[in-house]
């Protein structure tokens, strides 16, 4: 657990009798959530834009895909009110399902909209709800989707500090988490730049080669430009086989067997996410038709535009695995899988997929014939191996730096969570805490944050 030992404890504690709180400062008072919050009646407001919770904030969402009828059924949440997503389906995002709204919007009636009483300072209440969500709310609710309601939340007990102390805790958390959020944002920006550089290295190497002085020629493809003079351009269909996947929907029977199946969600850009691999009943006679082989290059049909052609190499990670019809298999016949994978993830190939894709609002898809007609740059085999080795060397260094940055983000998020928990449950005493002089003006400008 992340240490918070640089902060002192309160002078005296009592046993709260509540698992997620543990020991509480002896001057804090037990209180049920229903005495500190009230559920707002569902009220429509056609003049407001639609919103939702995103990473712990209430944000406006794209209304292009929202019908007028659906929006008219939404409920109002005003600035200064609280929003809770009552579904406990995804515990990985459990700390992101509550928010103090800084905007006025309409949201799905599935949300709970709460108002806080004068007992609570709003900014403190925001941190309280987040910690309650992380530590306890996931234990409430019932049913497959584990839906909770305000009665269940309202009957839960927390220990409430005096109002001036709430203000201090809120100021402390706003400042300290703000610093950590800033550091996290810098690491995320670094990761984005490293990934952009990685993409640029791959794109340049597979289209221009490693010799900057090599004679060049027109590739005949407008968005590809010039390539080394001794390179060829062929269509994928001349070097590979393309295998379509299995459609879903056939019920199990005596002639079917369950088989692991790769979906679009499993096939990421350059890697596989195999944490959640579904099984599907397959006719025994059809298994060989959809079976994956080591060295197959997987490519997604689409969905969101950034998923067009997204894929990686299958290395036989799961024995006897098939793929669904939204994931294509491109099976190299005369080239290395690594070359095909690198080229189809290069910028020029992505642009080709974008040009030929069937597109609708926010969605796009490519067909097997689109993939078959994709132009493939082909240096001689020895040069391909040299380019691939160069890519591996450059990418491994960038990937190590990305991994270090991701580790820093994990540590910062762990410390952030531990600090919120310690402050809201009274494990650290911040009543005498003051921000650095330069930060006090900012904190005072946040409204209720001034002491």
User: Is domain 13-160 given the CATH code 3.90.220.20 in the classification?
Assistant: yes
DSSP 312-375: EE----SSS-EEBTTEEEEEESSS-HHHHHHHHTSHHHHHHHHHH-EEETTEEE--HHHHHT-E
Query: 295-338 pLDDT, tens per residue?
Result: 999 999 887 777 788 899 999 999 999 999 999 999 999 999 99
Query: 53-95 pLDDT, tens per residue?
Result: 887 788 888 776 677 788 888 999 999 999 988 875 444 444 4
What are the distances in angstroms from CA 357 to CA 173, 226, 354?
47, 24, 5
Which run of H or E residues covers position 294?
A: none
Computed over every residue of the chain, the mean pLDDT equals: 88
Query: 397-445 pLDDT, tens per residue?
Result: 999 999 999 999 999 999 999 999 999 999 999 999 988 876 654 555 4
Fold classification of 210-378 (topology level): Adenine-n6-DNA-methyltransferase TaqI; Chain A, domain 2 (3.90.220)
Across residues 333-359, what is the average pLDDT? 91
Least confident piece of the model among 35-39, 244-248, 326-330: 244-248
Query: 170-225 pLDDT, tens per residue?
Result: 999 999 999 999 999 999 999 999 999 999 999 999 999 999 999 999 998 988 99
Distance, first Cα to last Cα, the chain:
31
Which tokens hold the place of 37? 């919050």
pLDDT at 362 over 70: no
Domain ranges of the chain: 13-160, 210-378
State the pairing for strand pair 82-84/98-100.
antiparallel
State the pairing for strand pair 256-262/322-323.
parallel
Determine the pLDDT at residue 437.
77
Separation of alpha carbons 127 and 420, rounded Å: 7
Same topology for domains 13-160 and 210-378, yes or no? yes
Separation of alpha carbons 141 and 223, rounded Å: 54
Q: Which residue has the tokens 């559920």?
A: 39
């Amino acid at each position: 657990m992340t240490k918070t030992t640089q902060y002192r404890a309160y002078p005296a504690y009592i046993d709260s009798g509540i698992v997620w709180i543990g020991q509480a400062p002896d001057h804090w008072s037990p209180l049920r959530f229903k005495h500190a919050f009230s559920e707002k009646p569902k009220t429509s407001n056609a003049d407001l834009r639609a919103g939702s919770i995103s990473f712990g904030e209430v944000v406006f969402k794209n209304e292009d895909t929202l019908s007028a009828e659906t929006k008219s059924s939404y409920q109002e949440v005003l600035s200064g009110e609280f929003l809770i997503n009552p579904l406990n389906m995804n515990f990985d995002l459990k700390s992101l399902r509550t928010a103090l709204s800084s905007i006025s919007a309409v949201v799905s009636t599935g949300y709970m909209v709460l108002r806080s009483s004068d007992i609570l300072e709003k900014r403190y209440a925001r941190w309280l709800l987040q910690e309650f969500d992380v530590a306890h709310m996931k234990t409430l609710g019932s049913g497959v989707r584990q839906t909770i309601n305000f009665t269940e939340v309202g009957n839960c007990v927390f220990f409430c500090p005096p109002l001036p102390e709430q203000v201090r805790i809120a100021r402390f958390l706003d400042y300290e988490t703000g610093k950590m959020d800033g550091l996290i944002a810098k690491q995320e920006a670094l990761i984005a730049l490293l990934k952009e550089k990685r993409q640029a290295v791959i794109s340049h190497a597979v289209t221009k080669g490693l010799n900057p002085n090599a004679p060049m020629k027109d590739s005949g493809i407008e968005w590809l430009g010039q390539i080394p003079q001794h390179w060829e351009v062929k269509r994928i269909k001349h070097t590979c086989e393309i295998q379509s996947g299995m459609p879903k929907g056939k019920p199990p029977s005596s002639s079917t067997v369950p088989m692991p199946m790769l979906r679009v969600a499993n096939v990421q850009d350059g890697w596989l996410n195999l944490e959640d691999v579904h099984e599907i009943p397959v006719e025994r006679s059809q298994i060989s038709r959809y079976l994956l082989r080591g060295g197959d290059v997987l490519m997604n049909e689409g969905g969101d535009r950034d998923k067009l052609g997204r894929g990686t190499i299958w290395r036989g990670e799961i024995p006897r695995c098939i793929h669904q019809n939204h994931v294509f298999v491109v099976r190299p016949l005369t080239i290395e899988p690594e070359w095909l994978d690198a080229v189809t993830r290069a910028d020029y190939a992505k642009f080709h997929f974008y040009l030929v894709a069937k597109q609708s609002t926010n969605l796009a898809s490519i067909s097997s014939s689109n993939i078959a007609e994709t132009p493939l740059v082909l240096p001689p085999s020895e040069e391909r191996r040299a380019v691939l080795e160069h890519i591996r060397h450059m990418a491994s260094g960038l990937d190590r730096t990305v991994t270090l940055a991701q580790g820093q983000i994990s540590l910062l998020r762990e410390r952030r969570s531990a600090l919120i928990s310690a402050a809201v449950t009274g494990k650290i005493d911040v009543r005498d805490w003051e921000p650095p002089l330069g930060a006090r003006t900012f904190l005072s400008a946040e409204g209720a944050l001034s002491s």
